[in-house]
Amino acid sequence: MNKLTMKEIAKLANVSQSTVSRVINGNTGVNEEAMKRVLQVIEEVGYVPNKAAQTLKKSQSNIIGVCLTETYNPYFVELVDALESEARKIGYSILLHNSKHNPITEWESIQNFIARQVDGIILVPTGEYNIQRISKLAIPTIVMTQNRKPLDSVGLDHMKAGKIVGEKFIHAGHKTFGYVGTNPDDDKFLGYKSALYENGFSFDLKNYIQLEETSKNNFLMRRDIEDYLNKVKSLDFTCLFTNNDIMALEFMKAARERNIKVPEDISVIGFDDTYLAKIMGISSIHQPIEEMVKTTIDILVDRMENEVSSESVQIKLDPTLIERMSS
């Protein structure tokens, strides 16, 4: 059997190759008869147009490049899932890369996206490293879950989320506050602190359970948490906000082994509202993934269709707190 190309279909249907093209692209102005014949041949032989040729010709690939930093956190999995569904709906495929928090790998992925003529990029960045270079690209790029200024971004309002948690704790009568995270300049933490200060409380830095930047899985997080607990002997706070659900989970497990009761002794609130939180009954800040993804794709489509790049947008969605037994 010959390789299946338009030419081949044309021959079989007794028309010219361009007529086949017209039929496939749903162009008007094709004889009913001819169209039926072409369609039938296509059906019979199972012909599928070669995307590489289409891409080359149209400079449009119908691919969206997605580059994440990790898949360990279930949050990102739910994200990919939603992205794939949403992209599929509008005829796009997802080329998935994982930078694993490595800026070099990230840049390689971007290069690959360029080479493959992706129409758009969705990025969970490793940091600032490649942002400038990326913003100079001709390919529209949306950053998810964080703000990286020259680029468009869609994410939750982390500052506000931190505030909500802080206020929630205060209303519940707590007077001493803890936090688990990797970076004290993080917006979640800043929002949390500001809620405390605005209400006449303060945050004691010794209650910041600092995880190493590189502690990107349960095991490493757990180790850091254990280290902290072993060091401080007794906890000087009665409530705890964690940077994500995994940290909340690991803290709660470590606490249980030490007979620290959640929520009686310590209230815990996590972040992301992944199914980990649902499974374990952890209160958590909900990330409206569906909405975020829809918004992201909307902006991306807009950027892809309208060459004229207007000002970049930073969209911050409103966080909500889902309360469960841990608080």
Partner DNA sequence: CTGTTAGCGCATTCAA
Partner DNA sequence: TTGAATGCGCTAACAG
Contact residues toward DNA (CB under 7 A) are 3, 5-7, 14-19, 21-22, 24-25, 28-35, 49-50, 53-54, 56-59
21: contact with a copy of itself by CB under 8 A: no
230: contact with a copy of itself by CB under 8 A: no
94: contact with a copy of itself by CB under 8 A: yes
User: How far apart, in whole angstroms, are the C-alpha atoms of residue 320 and residue 153?
Assistant: 19
Judged by CB, which is closer to a copy of itself: 81, or 318?
81
216: contact with a copy of itself by CB under 8 A: no
To the nearest whole angstrom, how small is the minimum distance from the Cβ of residue 63 to a copy of itself? 8
Judged by CB, which is closer to DNA: 58, or 256?
58
User: How far apart, in whole angstroms, are the C-alpha atoms of residue 93 and residue 84?
Assistant: 7
279: contact with a copy of itself by CB under 8 A: yes
90: contact with a copy of itself by CB under 8 A: no
157: contact with a copy of itself by CB under 8 A: no
> What DSSP character marks residue 166?
H
258: contact with a copy of itself by CB under 8 A: no
To the nearest whole angstrom, how small is the minimum distance from the Cβ of residue 23 to DNA? 8
**Closest by Cα among 226, 227, 230, 248 to 239:** 248
First-to-last C-alpha distance (Å) of the chain = 67
- Full strand arrangement of the beta sheet holding 320-322: 208-210, 177-181, 239-242, 267-272, 283-286, 320-322
Residue from 11, 101, 116, 294 that binds a copy of itself (CB under 8 A)? 116
Judged by CB, which is closer to DNA: 27, or 132?
27
Please spell the DSSP secondary structure of 22-47, one letter per residue. HHHTT-S---HHHHHHHHHHHHHHT-
User: How far apart, in whole angstroms, are the C-alpha atoms of residue 41 and residue 240?
Assistant: 66
